[in-house]
Every structure is written in structure tokens, then in C-alpha cells.
């Protein structure tokens, strides 16, 4: 609608209180509407143009500053790039708080996000550069993989995205890195080899995740080998200490043997100290 004052916003809401901002349509395209619960989000001011609507405010219960940007990007490549530059300028000129960008970006990050339609490398690179430059993270959305399907006469050609906030199981816990590993030989080589084993690709954040997975898979067998080596070394050194103690009961041991015993015990204690540090780190104790 060219005049948003005629929009019956209540038709999109229930019977609870709400507040909203709008951007009028231009002809038969564009137009943005953002609605929120003022009991949760308190608006301070907004900034808008034809392609985005940025609402600045704070969460009522915590006072956390938050900005929500509703985006409807254009189809044309250069115009789309200009929107990313405008958004980047807006975000850099307004530091602090959290930012949430949502809406219709009319762009994808990689070729697998399109099917039966043309993929533009240049537009994807512009979009990924914008995401990386402003430090955004992409939510993992559920539901249908594609938001647009060609109309076959039996279904809608647009599928909305839904973000559900609830307690869900996200899989195994994150990989834990133990500080004691830094004292072991060979770790740097293992990490470097795993890192370079994944060739560069776009977008960079997914490349980083793939390299982290490769490092995780490489560290696991290396860690198992280190544990096996240390267990064997402790067993060997304790046997040597025990044999020398038994020998000392019946005869005099040399100064060299005494010093060797001290070195053996020191090595055993160092390995045990590393084990204790791992236990503390695992239990999050300082």
C-alpha cells in the first residue's frame, strides 16, 4: 500500500497491545511493516529508506540495547550492493548493542541455496562480504529448505521462515581444548596439517567451521596417542623407582642413580599435574 496509514495492523496481531513502524510501498513493490510487543521491546527511534526499516530500542526487562532491521532488498545487483553499503554505514555509525537483520534479502550466500534459478557469484560475494564486515552470525533455521517455489497451481509460491525460541537439543557439546596439550610436542604440526587440508571456499564463516571440524578430527587420535604414551611412561618410570628403592634396602646406590630417581619422580609429577589441570578445566574450576 502506498499509504501505510490505511493498513489495519491489528489484522496481523492478536488482541494484545502492539507498536509498529512502516515503510510505504513504491508502486506495486516494496513496503515494510515491523510489529512488536511494547511489553517486551521499547522503541526509541527508527531509520528507514525504501529498502530497509531499522527500529532502535531496548528490551524492557533487561534494558539491553537492540536494533532490529527489516530488509527488503532490490533485485538489481548494483542496487542491492548499495543497500549493503548503506546498512554497513548505519551500523558503523551507531555502535553498541545487538543487531538483528531479517526479511527478504533477495540474495543467497552460496549456489546450493538456489534451485532451478540463476546463481550470481558477484551478488553472493557482495552479500558475504557485508555479513563478514559487520560481524553477523546466521541463525540455523528450521522447516523447508527453500522459501520460494514456482507455482504449480496447488501451493503457495512463498514459504515463510519461522524462528522458534525453545529448549532444543543441538547435538553433542562443543569440542574442548585442554591447555595441557600445549606442553606436548607435535600439536602445532597436527593443527596446521588439518587446517591446510581444507581448501579455501566461500563463505568464510563456513570455511572456518569446516577447518575447525578437521582440526577436531585430527586432534582426537593425536590426544589418544599422547595419553597412551604418558600412561606407558608413568608405568615404566614407577617401575624404575620401585626397583631402585628395593635395591637401596640392601646396598648403597650411587649419586647418579639418586639423580636419575629425582628426574623420574619429577617427570611423573609433571604428568600428574597435567592430569589434575585437565580435571579442573573439565569441571570449570579455577
pLDDT over 60 at 156, yes or no: no
Angle of the 121-134 helix axis to the 77-93 helix axis, nearest 10: 0
How many whole angstroms separate alpha carbon 163 and alpha carbon 44?
Answer: 25
Angle at Cα 245 formed by Cα 242 and Cα 249, nearest 5°?
140
**φ and ψ of 274, to 5 deg:** -60, -40
Residues of the chain with CATH 3.60.10.10: 4-134
Over residues 201-237, the pLDDT tens digits come to 888 888 998 999 999 999 999 999 999 999 999 999 9
* pTM for this model (two decimals): 0.58
In 3-state terms, what secondary structure has residue 259?
helix
| Look-up of cell digits 600428574 | 272
Q: Taking 70 as the threshold, does the pLDDT of residue 168 lie above it?
A: no
Which one is predicted more confidently, 214 or 164? 214
Give the span between the Cα atoms of 140 and 170, in whole angstroms. 10
Quote the cell numbers at residue 135. 560481524
**CATH number at 4-134:** 3.60.10.10
What is the rounded distance in angstroms from the CA atom of residue 133 to the CA atom of residue 109? 14
Buried b (16+ CB within 10 A) or exposed e, 20-36: bbbbebeeeeebbebeb
Which is more confidently placed, 141 or 102?
A: 102
Q: Are 222 and 194 in contact (CB under 8 A)?
A: no
Amino acid at each position: 500500500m502506498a499509504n501505510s496509514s490505511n493498513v489495519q495492523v491489528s489484522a496481523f496481531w492478536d488482541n494484545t497491545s502492539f507498536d509498529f513502524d512502516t515503510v510505504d510501498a513504491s508502486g506495486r513493490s516494496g513496503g515494510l511493516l515491523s510489529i512488536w510487543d511494547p511489553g517486551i521491546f521499547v522503541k526509541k527511534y527508527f531509520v528507514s529508506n525504501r529498502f530497509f526499516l531499522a527500529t532502535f530500542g531496548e528490551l524492557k526487562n533487561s534494558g539491553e540495547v537492540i536494533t532490529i532491521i527489516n530488509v527488503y532488498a532490490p533485485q538489481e545487483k548494483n542496487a542491492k550492493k548499495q543497500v549493503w553499503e548503506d546498512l554497513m554505514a548505519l551500523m558503523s555509525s551507531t555502535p553498541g548493542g545487538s543487531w538483528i537483520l531479517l526479511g527478504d534479502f533477495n540474495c543467497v550466500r552460496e549456489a546450493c541455496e538456489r534451485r532451478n534459478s540463476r546463481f550470481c557469484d558477484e551478488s553472493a560475494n557482495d552479500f558475504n562480504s557485508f555479513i563478514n564486515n559487520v560481524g553477523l552470525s546466521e541463525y540455523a533455521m528450521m522447516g523447508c529448505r527453500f522459501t520460494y517455489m514456482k507455482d504449480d497451481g496447488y501451493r503457495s509460491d512463498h514459504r515463510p521462515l519461522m524462528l522458534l525460541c525453545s529448549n532444543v537439543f543441538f547435538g553433542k557439546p562443543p569440542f574442548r581444548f585442554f591447555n595441557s596439550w600445549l606442553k606436548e610436542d607435535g600439536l602445532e604440526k597436527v593443527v596446521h596439517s588439518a587446517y591446510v587440508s581444507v581448501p579455501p571456499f566461500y563463505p568464510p564463516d563456513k570455511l572456518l567451521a569446516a577447518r575447525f571440524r578437521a582440526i577436531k578430527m585430527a586432534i582426537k587420535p593425536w590426544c589418544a596417542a599422547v595419553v597412551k604414551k604418558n600412561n606407558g611412561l608413568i608405568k615404566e618410570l614407577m617401575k624404575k623407582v620401585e626397583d631402585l628403592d628395593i635395591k637401596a634396602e640392601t646396598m648403597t646406590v650411587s649419586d647418579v642413580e639418586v639423580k636419575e630417581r629425582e628426574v623420574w619422580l619429577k617427570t611423573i609429577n609433571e604428568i600428574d599435574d597435567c592430569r589434575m589441570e585437565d580435571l579442573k578445566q573439565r569441571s570449570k574450576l579455577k
